[in-house]
Amino acid sequence: MSMMMKFDIIQALQLVSYCFKCDNIKLPRTHHCKECNKCILRMDHHCPWVNNCVGLKNHRYFCQFNFYALLCMIQCTLFISYDLFVNDKLVLQELTKNQQFILTICDVTCFSLVLVMGFLLGFHIYHTAQNITTVEYHINEIKANNPFRKPRIIDNFKEVFGPEIKYWFLPLRNVEKSAFPRTDLFEV
């Protein structure tokens, strides 16, 4: 009678392994990016907009970029909507029909971007609160039993955004370097 061993994905993610594509040792939570052709520590995803992988050391900046871009789009939507719907007598009298149409298209586009970017930011904030990456989110075993989640949600956020909350919204490097593991061999 042969015993068949069950593969445990959660245990495999927590162990040091080997990447045959990079010909290098992989730390836990490291994934190989086929676009960059290298292993990324705590890889979230490869972002075509920034042409780089979002991983351990730049996930914070990616979330900050989304946050500030969302604020910018909200501001544009509010200003254009105010001119179109609240202050319409002054603005619409000075504009031709084509200009009014273009202004309306700009308002609809900005509002659509607010929705899309708000969903993207919410998606990443949810993942940060759960202490998982987008790659790990697609592994069913982690959804059921997440070994990376800390007891307090604030500790999950500190792992991505750094130990000091007052710097979370500023695109500055953390003063405390010990928050990140040593990554001499890996792209982060």
Per-residue model confidence as pLDDT tens digits over 87-109: 766 666 777 888 888 989 999 99
Cα–Cα distance for residue pair 109/104, rounded to 1 Å: 9
The whole model's pTM is what?
Answer: 0.78
| Predicted pLDDT of residue 2 | 45
User: Strand, helix or coil at 17?
Assistant: strand
CB 39 within 8 A of CB 25: no
CB 32 within 8 A of CB 163: no
Span 161-186, mean pLDDT? 66
Cα–Cα distance for residue pair 106/75, rounded to 1 Å: 13
The answer on pLDDT for 4 being more than 70 is no
Dihedral in degrees, nearest 10, Cα atoms 64, 51, 127, 41 = -110
Sequence spans of domains, the chain? 62-173
Nearest CA among 164, 151, 133, 112 for reference residue 58: 133
Residue 58's identity, in one-letter code, is: N
Tokens at 128, concatenated: 């940060």
The answer on pLDDT for 7 being more than 70 is no
| pLDDT 10s digits, 32-91 | 888 988 889 888 999 888 888 999 888 998 999 999 999 999 999 999 988 887 876 666
Residue 145's identity, in one-letter code, is: N
| Predicted pLDDT of residue 127 | 92
Bridging pattern class, strands 45-47 and 52-54? antiparallel
Cα–Cα distance for residue pair 12/5, rounded to 1 Å: 13
DSSP for 30-83 reads EEEETTTTEEEET--EEETTTTEEE-TTTHHHHHHHHHHHHHHHHHHHHHHHII
Q: Which residues are catalytic?
A: 47
Nearest CA among 117, 108, 115 for reference residue 80: 108
Residue 64 has φ and ψ, to the nearest 5°, of -65, -40
